[in-house]
């Protein structure tokens, strides 16, 4: 007798600090291996808010106490290695979201207009980890309330896509 295939699963981990996030990522490979062996398909890992706790880490002076080995850069390196391991060795597709410091123009200053100049919110250790980058921002035009804009910066594409998020949370093109 053959059992029907199990329906897809959606495990969720909620993190409340950078170290929570690191622990979650370090715990994922076994679950990903099990998923791939069970379904034969690449699981998808979505990491929402990768940079969410950076400000708190700075505010709490993580790693600035004398003699500590738990520095911000070392934790970021460990996070980067964990994400690369998941992508390369565990057959998973990985998507992360990061929060940009704001619209920037070519000179790096904050701009009120649409600009696709990119100021990386991730530390240098993440360079080489990202294989594709989608940039989002609200439309600055006064008549475009609620309209969001998206453009691929890597690989670079000139098209700008406008969309809204409806009341149900669905992404709807405009």
Q: Which residues bind another protein (CB under 8 A)?
A: 7-16, 18, 20-21, 24-25, 28, 31-32, 35, 39, 41-50, 52-53, 92-103, 118, 121-122, 130-138, 148, 150, 161, 163, 165, 168-173
CB of 61 to another protein, least distance (A): 20
Measure the CA–CA gap between 11 and 8, rounded to whole angstroms: 10
> Cβ atoms within 10 A of the Cβ of 86, count?
21
| Distance in angstroms (rounded) separating the CA atoms of residues 42 and 52 | 27
Nearer to another protein, 66 or 112 (CB): 112
* Cβ 131 vs Cβ 139: under 8 Å: no
- Of 64 and 102, nearer to another protein (C-beta) is 102
Listed residue (153, 87, 68) closest to 118, CA to CA = 153
Instruction: Using the minimum distance from each CB to another protein, give the nearer residue, 20 or 64.
Output: 20
């Amino acid at each position: 007798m053959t059992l029907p295939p199990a329906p897809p699963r959606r495990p969720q981990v909620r993190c409340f600090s950078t170290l929570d996030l690191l622990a979650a990522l370090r715990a994922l490979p076994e679950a990903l291996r099990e998923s791939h062996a069970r379904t034969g398909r690449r699981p998808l890992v979505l990491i929402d808010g990768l940079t969410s706790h950076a400000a708190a880490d700075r505010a709490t002076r993580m790693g600035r106490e004398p003699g500590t080995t738990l520095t911000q850069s070392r934790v970021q390196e460990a996070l980067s290695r964990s994400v690369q391991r998941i992508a390369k060795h565990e057959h998973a597709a990985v998507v992360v979201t990061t929060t940009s410091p704001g619209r920037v123009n070519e000179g790096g200053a904050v701009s009120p207009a649409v600009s696709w100049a990119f100021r990386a919110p991730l530390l240098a250790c993440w360079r080489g980890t990202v294989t594709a980058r989608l940039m989002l921002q609200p439309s600055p035009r006064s008549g475009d309330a609620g309209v969001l804009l998206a453009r691929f910066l890597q690989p670079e594409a000139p098209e700008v896509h406008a969309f809204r998020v409806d009341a149900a949370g669905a992404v709807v093109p405009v």
